[in-house]
Structure 1
Amino acid sequence: MDLSLEAHRLIVKYAGNRTDICNLCRVSRGFQCAAERALYNTIYMKNTADTVTLCNLLADRPRLAILVEALTIYVEDEENGDSDSSLVSSHPFWLAVSLGLQKVTRLRYFNIHMDRSWDSSAWILRNCTFRLRTFHCDLQWDDDLVSFLNNQPDIVDLFIVDYNASNRTFHSASSSDTSSLCPDALIDLSILECTFTEAACALVPNRPITRLKTCFSRTVLLEKREEMATLLSKLDLSTCPLVSLDIADSSYSEYFSMELLSSVVELQNLVQELHYLGTLVLPVIGSE
């Protein structure tokens, strides 16, 4: 008697490990469909050579590629990674990743972690048609990354490690400069983590940001105060109240923490729903 689709999925769900799931692929066509969906729904790529192999597989077999909804790629430094990590600096590695990404048309969650930035690696995002919900991006900020973000209206959770304000200008809707992030891009973005406040200042206005994690770039008090004022003025332009605000600082102090706290309170309506304010060094009266 043939098992139902639900029975196949239930058996696969309780399989011990990925090896057992692979073995189920050989049992019957019903098990193959359920097992492949479980194997390819969420993929982690860390070993460099295996990443190339798996990306080539996805590029060659669209039937499997469309099963991928969540993908994480770890790109290690040549000096600290595995023995095959020298492949990372070669064009064939990035080409394989690019071709694989073009086939995962149903991808919704994409993380690419890199030990360091390889110049212009964001070209791997060209010709990608998937629409993400979550994107963790260690890629260098360049025209290709900006163009990709301009075509991702469904992203709600974004992490970017790099931002180059000197080369990118956020333009008005009438501008024809395709290398700039459009004002109506990322219209559903609500969770933003970025290593530069400049990126936050550019991305927060007119978007429903509720959770922000960033870091002060300045260390001199007067410059940091100006940076804080600029950031908070941009936060005031968010279309939703903040729930979480975390601003890291390379040199925490009681004085500046109190100044930051006072400035945040002055945002009034924007912080009525605020539940988390990150790390602050507050003055404590009495002996330690």
Structure 2
Amino acid sequence: MTVPPLPREIVHLIFSSVESKADLLNSALSSKALHSMATSVLYRSLNLKTSRESIPCLRTLSRNLRLSTLVRSFEIHWTWTTPTANLHQLVHRVLRQMTALVSLSIEVHPNFHPWNLQNCTFSLDRFSSSFRCDSSLVEFLERQPNIEDLTLRGFNSDPSDFSFNSSSFNLNPNPTPFPISSTALPKLSRLRAIHAGPDTVLRLIDGRPLTQVSMPLYAECVHRSLDALQLSTRHIERLNVISFDPDAPEYLLGEISRRLPDLEALHIVILLAQCSEAALIKSSPALRNFRSLQYLTYMSATHTGPISQENEAKIATEWHKSCPTLKTIILPMGKVWFYDNTKWSCLGDQEEL
């Protein structure tokens, strides 16, 4: 096969647009001239989910240093519950060879610990993990000064110590310390702390240039978590929260708007509480503090009953009176409302868009 007289950059872009791994593999095997370019794209981003695909891929990478250095994005999402010690060691060996890695996501069985990241020389700008938020994770983060996007899905205590029932979800009163230094993660701008409590959230936000944050709001410590948001060196522009406080509909919008008036996008999911039409109308004045809010999602797991489209339009209109910058609203029933400079129009259910 004769390679077309195209610059290597153009051929690389063509391969980058190929979605099928099988097609890339066939291209790599079609000629020596195309092998290098197709292979670089084939191994640039790897997402391992099943044992059938994970083990052969990891073995290939462990035996071929050149292939390991091609990987820029690596994701391990294992759902089986008993990865062996040998498999952990294999992952550790491969990670040490991925010197050019910039994005890493690890969602595996709890027995997979941050020690698997020891002696790795890559420098990440994005990291996501299900590791528990403790000192061993801190040790790894301290060695990654270029991380800008961080997702932590682990708890900062034993999940069995949480107090959970139909009306409340409270943190363990003695969470695991998260002693990250003030000089770590100097570039962090996007944080998703899925289960972390206020102490961990505060440690990660304080003195760093956060602009986007996703976090839980547990009963009895909501104000501490929200106060932590004010410690960013930049204005928070996007905030996503999941509330576990049954009283949240009475105060949450007001507390957020008072602390973060410069938000551009706010997404709230309220659990353990009902959202009635009257409560939504009543919350309208709480939006007055927002100066730039354009996108507002206000969802709840339970509600007192269906709200008619006509009444949802009234709610959107009232909210817009208090916050004229609003452009898009998603209300508890899942309807998406859009403001077209004259009135609010319903675009349909969120799941349909």
Report the TM-score when normalising by structure 2.
Answer: 0.66
| Aligned-partner SS, 2:43 | helix
Q: 1:7 to 1:30 in 2, by over 3 A?
A: farther
Q: Which amino acid aligns with 1:183?
A: S
1:156 aligns with 2:148: yes
Q: How does 1:116-195 map to 2 (within 5 A)?
A: 116-118=109-111, 121-162=113-154, 163-164=156-157, 166-170=175-179, 181-194=180-193, 195=195
Percent identity for Structure 1 against Structure 2: 23
Q: How big is the shift at 1:277? A: 4.1
Higher RCO, 1 or 2 (CA under 8 Å, sep at least 6)? 1
Report the TM-score when normalising by structure 1.
Answer: 0.79
Q: 1:10 to 1:259 in 2, by over 3 A?
A: closer
Q: How big is the shift at 1:7? A: 5.2
Q: State how far apart, in whole Å, the 1-side matches of 2:206 and 2:10 are.
A: 49
Q: How big is the shift at 1:207? A: 0.8
Q: Which amino acid aligns with 2:110?
A: S
Q: Match for 2:37 among 27, 34, 39? A: 34
Q: State how far apart, in whole Å, the 1-side matches of 2:263 and 2:175 are.
A: 34
| Aligned-partner SS, 1:208 | coil
Q: How big is the shift at 1:69? A: 0.6
Q: Which residue of 2 aligns with 1:46?
A: 49
Q: State how far apart, in whole Å, the 2-side matches of 1:51 and 1:204 are.
A: 35
Given that 1:209 and 1:241 are in contact with CA atoms closer than 8 Å, whether structure 2 keeps it comes out as yes
Q: Which residue of 1 aligns with 2:196?
A: 196
Q: Which residue of 2 aligns with 1:58?
A: 61
Structure with a larger share of its residues in strand = 2
Q: Match for 2:240 among 246, 249, 262? A: 246
Q: State how far apart, in whole Å, the 2-side matches of 1:48 and 1:36 are.
A: 22
CA deviation digits over 1:17-72, x for unaligned, max 9? 32222122233322011110110001111112532332232222111111111111
Q: 1:247 to 1:11 in 2, by over 3 A?
A: closer
Gaps of 5+ in 2: 158-173, 283-304, 308-353
CA deviation digits over 1:75-125, x for unaligned, max 9? 2133xxxxxxx4x0x2101001111111111111111123x422x621111
Q: 1:92 to 1:149 in 2, by over 3 A?
A: same
Q: 1:272 to 1:131 in 2, by over 3 A?
A: same
Q: State how far apart, in whole Å, the 1-side matches of 2:281 and 2:231 are.
A: 36
Q: Which residue of 1 aligns with 2:80?
A: 77
| Aligned-partner SS, 1:20 | helix
| Aligned-partner SS, 1:105 | coil
1:278 aligns with 2:268: yes
Given that 2:188 and 2:209 are in contact with CA atoms closer than 8 Å, whether structure 1 keeps it comes out as yes
RMSD of aligned residue pairs (Cα, Å): 2.5
Given that 2:135 and 2:178 are in contact with CA atoms closer than 8 Å, whether structure 1 keeps it comes out as no
Q: Which has the larger radius of gyration?
A: 2
Q: State how far apart, in whole Å, the 2-side matches of 1:189 and 1:15 are.
A: 32
| Aligned-partner SS, 2:30 | coil
Given that 1:241 and 1:274 are in contact with CA atoms closer than 8 Å, whether structure 2 keeps it comes out as no
Q: State how far apart, in whole Å, the 1-side matches of 2:131 and 2:94 are.
A: 17
Q: How big is the shift at 1:11? A: 5.0
| Aligned-partner SS, 1:183 | coil
Given that 2:126 and 2:148 are in contact with CA atoms closer than 8 Å, whether structure 1 keeps it comes out as yes
| Aligned-partner SS, 1:235 | helix
Q: State how far apart, in whole Å, the 2-side matches of 1:100 and 1:135 are.
A: 17
CA deviation digits over 1:223-280, x for unaligned, max 9? x2xx122122221111111112222123544xx334222222222xx43244214236
Q: 1:54 to 1:260 in 2, by over 3 A?
A: same
1:102 aligns with 2:96: yes
